[in-house]
Structure 1
Amino acid sequence: MTLGDLFQLSNCANCRQQFATKTRTRGCPRGGKQQAAVRSPRQRVPRIPPNPTLLLPKCKYGAVATPLRSASWGCSQEAAGTDPIAEEMRRVAGSMDSQAEHRADYFRRSNLFVMVAILAGLSYHGLAVFSPSTIPYDLLGPLGTVTKYLVENHKTLLNIGYLIIWLIHIGEALFALKLCRMKGITDPSTQRLWLVQTFFFGMGSLYLLLTYNPQKKSW
């Protein structure tokens, strides 16, 4: 190939393209007409999927070994032989079991001030009914005066009131026993404690059982 031919090839756009793509031509006429280019076959470029992590290995817990998150990190739980989901379920089940055990023997003692006040009132009422002569009316001020008036003029009403109070306490004690069963307090000794406490202290004990919410989480 002479120097003139090389100069003509450099001025021919089609020939430059053929040389750039490494093609073979059957001669290049001056002006680039009537060329028959034979190009090399085009290589197919593999398409990248939308989510490259789909092609990466996974462990049985779904952890993907990405370049930023190594396979040893993603499958660390598998290598250790523990399932994080199963561990969480066991933790929740254990908490629920402990909560159920706590509900089965749940008991709260009444307030000390409430217990003393109720016992003092019942005892004083009982003395006015069964032994009114032992009450020092003069030392009790207005309370002694009212009590003496009731004993002397309305003894029957005083006796009926005392009986009604104890009947109410009996009903509250039975209702407390029913509440124990409804709220999951199944321990027999704990049920007896609620029964006895409510029988003697009435609403001072029953209120604690009414406000007890076994559904409240303690973990």
Structure 2
Amino acid sequence: MVSVLSGIALLTVSSMSLPSVFWMVSVLSGIALLTVSSMSLPSVFWMVSVLSGIALLTLATFTPAVVPHEYLGPIGWLTRYLVNEWPAILNILMVFTIASHTVEACCAVNTAKNKSIENPARRKWLISVFVFGYFSYRHLLAYKPNKSK
């Protein structure tokens, strides 16, 4: 199915505007990600939570002036306190987040390999676990491959 969708994308890209091409590629990438039977993403709640947390941590670490602390409630108070009083803690959290997601992604590749998941799906697991961490990795751990005889 992925090769057919890629062929359709190649045929239609020449007659489309640039924003349409980006939209189509992202839609086709999402379809390709969801068509692999061994691949499942975390719930939308966890995807939004993890991406928001990583974005907030990145902004607070590298460009703290652009973080809208007053609109974030208790989390805004905490980030303002950490930015003003403990910037080293933010740096440590950033390094720890990158390191832990990298280790989880490497473990996910190894787990996918042990479960006999093919290479294209293995790469998707790598990306998913690197971005979403444990909330994606637990789906891989729960995946039971079909036993062919």
Correspondence 1:148-163 to 2 at 5 A: 148-163=80-95
Which of the two has higher C-alpha Rg?
1
Counterpart of 1:190 (choices 82, 106, 121) is 121
Pick 1 or 2: higher relative contact order, CA cutoff 8 A, min separation 6: 2
* TM-score of the aligned structures, taking structure 1 as reference length: 0.49
Counterpart of 1:207 (choices 124, 134, 138) is 138
Q: How many residue pairs align between the two structures? A: 113
Q: Please report the RMSD computed on the Cα atoms of aligned residues, expressed in angstroms.
A: 1.8
1:115 aligned residue:
47
Deviation at 1:123? 0.3
Deviation at 1:213? 2.0
1:69 aligned residue:
none
Deviation at 1:139? 2.2
Residues in 1 aligned to 2:142 and 2:72: alpha-carbon distance in whole angstroms: 37
Correspondence 1:70-89 to 2 at 5 A: none
Residues in 2 aligned to 1:142 and 1:111: alpha-carbon distance in whole angstroms: 24
Deviation at 1:209? 0.7
Q: Does 1:126 align with 2:88?
A: no
Residues in 1 aligned to 2:90 and 2:112: alpha-carbon distance in whole angstroms: 33
Deviation at 1:155? 0.2
For each residue in 1:55-113, what CA deviation from the matched residue of structure 2 results, as whole angstroms up to 9, or x when unmatched?
xxxxxxxxxxxxxxxxxxxxxxxxxxxxxxxxxxxxxxxxxxxxxxxxx9621122222
Q: SS at 2:45's partner residue? A: helix
Moved runs in structure 1, 4+ residues, more than 4 A?
none
Residues in 1 aligned to 2:105 and 2:71: alpha-carbon distance in whole angstroms: 35
Identity, % of aligned positions? 35
Deviation at 1:206? 0.3
Structure 1 unmatched ranges of 5 or more: 1-103
